[in-house]
Chain A
């Protein structure tokens, strides 16, 4: 299909909207009526047609506007994109992975023409047509990681693998759930996850690290993570928390359906061929509560998950103060009926709301 790209904002007047198509393909993260941490990895080898899992790097209606938002963030704070000196080769690996994947998966939007080391890259939605020499940084306007991730939705953490650990040694981070690349760059897997509650004690990170260090070329993996965001604000950075934190206090019973968003991260993991680095794209999807509850199964389930979530998780995810308001709203969409297993909307088989 041809994607109609929205002209929208993720700040200021917040004109971001999901079309009915985007709502139906939203990566709802709860496969049952409750939630607890788990490693929840699976192979990233496509998914149902039209789903966000189908392509290696999903492109949707928000693409052009998200890239505009990223450019604004980088203009204000260039430290959101950093690469330690030994990570340049991994940057080229990543550029190749994305250009090859996108040109194969979306031939109507992206083209890659390779003549030896002479490459021509056409990005039609963004109006880019560049010719450069692969592995020669002087022929690109930015370093290779920055160049390609200015054209790809989602944040990117590029991890070096050594000493039986993964090290966050490069990244492009402008749509993060409240963590700082500038602070965390150079840390190992346990260090940058240090502030996460409960999961260390549960052994989650040890198992996840073991899994990730064994991800092989051509066999990427994926998982979902989630949190809550008031307003469709992509840049929920700690750097700007003193500016956006106040928005969390602006929810009312009248505006919560439009302002409160479920924020889901589709995290994928790819081994890179030359550097043996692991790239970790973190793609953010936002959906307003009022859109989410148009899927009866999701409305029922989200109410139950939020209601039963341990306080520590609601605190860590930053919505403990707003939880009562959320539950007042979501309870209107929970009629107590059972829900079908799995994450899919099941619009044709699940009953409409009975109240």
Chain B
């Protein structure tokens, strides 16, 4: 089981639930890494769902662990891709055909769920049709408020911006539009005084 209970936080921070089957004639599912477990659990609740499902899956560092099991669910369409960015044109193409009542299921890391949810809502699908379930890494997708660059998969606080090199602390303030948390310079008032990075939630 790869579920993590996030501590209670501020109002802009997303909260995630548990995927549940909903009635509908089309189901779009997107997951990365251990997020596949949430889709497997979902399929176990409603065997009929997968015949109407389009799954986009990014295994990341889980390799082949889940791909055969997802294929065994016999979804209507299954895509296994190397990265979110690689899957993005396909996701947008699928969303361009979406009809009212499409049900969306997102599972895995916060970065994947956030980016997919932003695409889905940008396509005009209401957030109410989107379910999310966190599985796997608690790494965060961070925006540097100074240079605007995004650093993916941040696991420590503070961390170094992968674009401008500033030392940033990790805030819980979250933008759904950017699908990112906010990183702010930690040593602005005392340059060079950067605390040892600590693993998130440790």
Q: What residues make up the interface of A, taking CB atoms closer than 8 Å to B?
A: 79, 180, 182-187, 190-195, 200, 238-246, 248-249, 321
Contact between chains at B188 and A242 (CB < 8 Å): yes
Q: What residues make up the interface of B, taking CB atoms closer than 8 Å to A?
A: 10-13, 143, 145-146, 148, 166, 171-178, 182, 184-185, 188-191
Write the chain A residue with the least CB distance to B175.
A183
B-side interface mostly: loop
Contact between chains at A190 and B146 (CB < 8 Å): no
Contact between chains at B11 and A183 (CB < 8 Å): no
Contact between chains at B189 and A248 (CB < 8 Å): yes
From residue A239, how far is it (CB to closest CB) to chain B in Å?
6
Given contacts A193-B11, A194-B173, contact A183 B145 (CB under 8 A): yes
Given contacts A190-B11, A195-B10, A195-B173, contact A183 B178 (CB under 8 A): yes
Given contacts A183-B143, A191-B12, A194-B13, contact A245 B148 (CB under 8 A): no
Contacts of A244 in B (CB 8 A): 188
Contact between chains at B148 and A182 (CB < 8 Å): yes
Contacts of B146 in A (CB 8 A): 238-242
Contact between chains at A249 and B173 (CB < 8 Å): no
Contacts of A195 in B (CB 8 A): 10, 12, 171-173
From residue B101, how far is it (CB to closest CB) to chain A in Å?
19
Q: In the complex the two chains form, what is the Cα distance from A191 to B176 in whole Å?
A: 10
Contact between chains at A183 and B173 (CB < 8 Å): yes
Write the chain B residue with the least CB distance to A195.
B173
Q: In the complex the two chains form, what is the Cα distance from A183 to B96 in whole Å?
A: 27
Contact between chains at B184 and A183 (CB < 8 Å): no
Contacts of A190 in B (CB 8 A): 11-12
Write the chain B residue with the least CB distance to A192.
B12
Contacts of A194 in B (CB 8 A): 10-13, 172-173
Contact between chains at A241 and B188 (CB < 8 Å): yes
**4 new A-B pairs (CB below 8 Å) besides A182-B148, A184-B175, A241-B188?**
A183-B175, A183-B182, A241-B145, A242-B185
A-side interface mostly: helix
From residue A162, how far is it (CB to closest CB) to chain B in Å?
12
From residue B116, how far is it (CB to closest CB) to chain A in Å?
17
Query: Would you give 5 A-B contacts (Cβ < 8 Å), ordered by A?
Result: A186-B176, A191-B11, A194-B173, A241-B146, A242-B185
Given contacts A183-B178, A195-B171, contact A246 B13 (CB under 8 A): no
Q: In the complex the two chains form, what is the Cα distance from A175 to B145 in whole Å?
A: 16
Write the chain B residue with the least CB distance to A240.
B146
Contacts of B184 in A (CB 8 A): 238, 241
From residue B124, how far is it (CB to closest CB) to chain A in Å?
12
Contacts of B171 in A (CB 8 A): 195
Contact between chains at A249 and B145 (CB < 8 Å): no
Q: In the complex the two chains form, what is the Cα distance from A187 to B12 in whole Å?
A: 8
Contacts of A185 in B (CB 8 A): 177
Q: In the complex the two chains form, what is the Cα distance from A79 to B146 in whole Å?
A: 12
Contacts of B188 in A (CB 8 A): 241-246
Contacts of B174 in A (CB 8 A): 191
In the A-B complex, list the 9 residue pairs whose CB atoms are closest, starting with the nearest. Answer: A245-B188, A194-B12, A194-B10, A242-B185, A191-B12, A194-B11, A186-B177, A190-B11, A238-B145
Contact of B175 among A186, A193, A200, A241 (CB under 8 A): A186
Q: In the complex the two chains form, what is the Cα distance from A244 to B10 in whole Å?
A: 27
Contact between chains at A249 and B185 (CB < 8 Å): no
Interface centre among B171, B177, B188 (most CB of A within 10 A): B188
Contacts of A248 in B (CB 8 A): 189
Contacts of B177 in A (CB 8 A): 185-187
Q: In the complex the two chains form, what is the Cα distance from A244 to B189 in whole Å?
A: 8
From residue A312, how far is it (CB to closest CB) to chain B in Å?
14
From residue A43, how far is it (CB to closest CB) to chain B in Å?
29
Interface centre among B12, B172, B174 (most CB of A within 10 A): B12
From residue B60, how far is it (CB to closest CB) to chain A in Å?
27
Q: In the complex the two chains form, what is the Cα distance from A155 to B27 in whole Å?
A: 43
Contacts of B148 in A (CB 8 A): 79, 182
Contact between chains at A200 and B11 (CB < 8 Å): yes
From residue B165, how far is it (CB to closest CB) to chain A in Å?
11
